[in-house]
Structure formats: structure tokens, C-alpha cells
Structure 1
Amino acid sequence: MADRTGLTDEERAELEELRAEKAVRAQAARDAAERAELERLRGERARSEAEREQAARDAEARERGRALMEPDDDDLRMSLGQKIVILAVAGIVAVWLAVTALG
């Protein structure tokens, strides 16, 4: 069964076995690449979700700060934050004057 140009039955069987092993390795490599891509995409989604949540928290904090330090558009009174700052500065000045006067 062995002729000069062809393969023997044994060689053909070995060739088929090697091709099957190669196909298994190639499939395993594709599976590993797909798993890696899946993990990368999950990580990107988690990062973008965290960034979105952080941006929402920042916007909320900015809005609270703005509401504390700026008066309303239709309100001409000083905001609470401005009153607190003025009282704190006045208190510091009063303490400083008392310390320098009583020496």
C-alpha cells in the first residue's frame, strides 16, 4: 500500500490525527481570544458605568454647592453659604481684636 508518491494508511492516520489536534488547538486559541475580549468589554462597560455614576455625583455636588452659595434668580437675599462665610470671618476678626486688645 505504500507507493512512492502517496502516504501509507498509517501515515494518513497520523496526518489526520495531527490535523485534528491542530484544529483543537486552533479552537482553544479562538475560545481564549473570545474570553479575553469578553473580559475586556466587561471591564470597559464597568469603567464607563463608574464614570457615568461619578459624573452624576459630581453634577449633584456642584448643584448643591451652587444652591448653597448662590441666591435664587428671583430672590435678592443672601444665600446661606454667604451668610456662614461672613459670620466666620467676623468671628475670626472679633477673636483677633480681643486677643490684641487684651494682649
Structure 2
Amino acid sequence: MADRTGLTDEERAELEQLRAEKAAREQAERAAAERAELERLRRQKAEDEAMRASLARDAEARERGRALMEPDDDDLRMPLGQKVVILAVVGVAIVWLAATVLG
């Protein structure tokens, strides 16, 4: 029953079974590595999208602030933000003056 390799039929069957188990383990390891890489790439994509959205919100907020405090190129009127700041300073000065004179 022994052939040129010196293995019996039982040993050959056991060898084939062990090779099959090894191949299955290696396939499972490859699949796990691929799943881990997929999850990592999904997380990275989500982080990139969140960063992009954050940068867009920041740019929009800066643009609103700039529009509020800076006049347009062709508009010489005072921006609303500057009017509000001046009115607030004048209001505080009037309250301080009234408290000083009446107080």
C-alpha cells in the first residue's frame, strides 16, 4: 500500500486533510484582513467627509462674518455689523454718563 513517497493511504488522507485545514485557515485570515481593511477605508472616508463638511461650514461662517463687517467693493455704506457695534458703544457711554450725572 505504500507508494514512492513512503506514505500510507491513511497518512496521505491525513496529509490532505491537514492541507485543506491550512488552506481554510489561510482563507479565513485573508478574509479577516480584507474586512479590516474595508472597515478602515470606510472610517477614513467618513472622517474625510466630516472634515470636508467642517471646512465648508467654517468657510461659510467666515464669509458671513466678512459680509457683516466689511463693505462691498462698490458699496460705500457702513456694514450692519459696524452700525451695531457703534450703537452698542454709544449706548454704553450714555448709560455710564447717566449713571455718573444722576448717580
TM-score tier, shorter chain, comes to over 0.9
Instruction: List aligned pairs for 1:41-56, cutoff 5 A.
Output: 41-56=41-56
Residue 98 (structure 1) aligns with: 98
CA RMSD of aligned residues (A): 1.5
Secondary structure of 1:20's counterpart equals helix
Q: Please give the alpha-carbon distance, in whole angstroms, between the structure 2 residues aligned to 1:92 and 1:8.
A: 102
Measured after TM superposition, the shift of residue 97 of structure 1 is 1.3
> Which consecutive unaligned segments of at least 5 residues does structure 1 have?
none
Secondary structure of 1:7's counterpart equals coil
Instruction: List aligned pairs for 1:19-38, cutoff 5 A.
Output: 19-38=19-38
> Which consecutive unaligned segments of at least 5 residues does structure 2 have?
none
Identity %: 78
Alpha-carbon displacement from aligned partner over 1:55-89 (angstroms, at most 9, x marks no partner):
11111111111100000101111100000001011
Aligned residues: 103
TM-score of the pair, normalised by structure 1: 0.93
Residue 75 (structure 2) aligns with: 75
Which runs of at least 4 in structure 1 moved beyond 6 Å after TM superposition?
Answer: none
